[in-house]
Structure 1
Amino acid sequence: MITIYHNPKCSKSRAGLCEIETLNLPFTIRRYLDHPLTKEELVALLEKLQMKPIELVRTKEAIWKEQYREKEMNDDEIIDALLTHPKLIERPIVVFGDKAIIARPIEKINDLLG
């Protein structure tokens, strides 16, 4: 099953969803701003992405710049910031099995699905 972590206000996320819809494969949409991730889900997602928490942060977001940019933070603190402000999470994220990608550019989706 394919899962897309989606923000409908984001053009890249909408493009990723359109790409998935053209594949005619079963998928689910997780609107992570409406249904935030738990800490366990976020940690599992980071493992599938094979990323450190800081790599998942949208560092150009005002929230990050105003509240976190100047702080020295460990991975747990960054995870807590992502959980507190899900808008900081890069998007779209596509999960297939035990692997995940940030689908930028959207062609990465086809690479993930092989």
Structure 2
Amino acid sequence: MSRLNAKGSLLAGTLAAIGASACCLGPLVLLSLGFGGAWIGRLTAMALFRPAFMAAALLFLALAFRELYFPSRACEPGSACRDKPTLKRQRLIFWGVALLSLGLLAGPWAAPLFY
């Protein structure tokens, strides 16, 4: 995997986490912003797809983790994986995205506390 694929894994993991939380956090966010209507209740139909989105999010986050901490091939001199500040920044971004994604995944369990 190249550095671009690690970024793609992070993006895909974040999008999957958003999809996994759309069934429960979506209505909560819309209601808190002042939107209302019976159509908001239809967002709960996304709950059927939540396990698939959760699995995809965790898979993509694991792929990004593997790429950042256990590179599959040797780094060429001057490449981004050899540059310590770049690697440190990529790992910091990974942990920020991972915490955000895990928060989104855990959100539906915490959402009933706010209703």
Same fold (TM over 0.5): no
Could you state the TM-score of these two structures normalised by the residue count of structure 1? 0.32
Could you state the TM-score of these two structures normalised by the residue count of structure 2? 0.32
Query: Which has the higher relative contact order, 1 or 2, with Cα contacts under 8 A spaced 6 or more apart?
Result: 2
> Larger radius of gyration, structure 1 or 2?
2
The answer to which structure has the higher helix fraction is 2
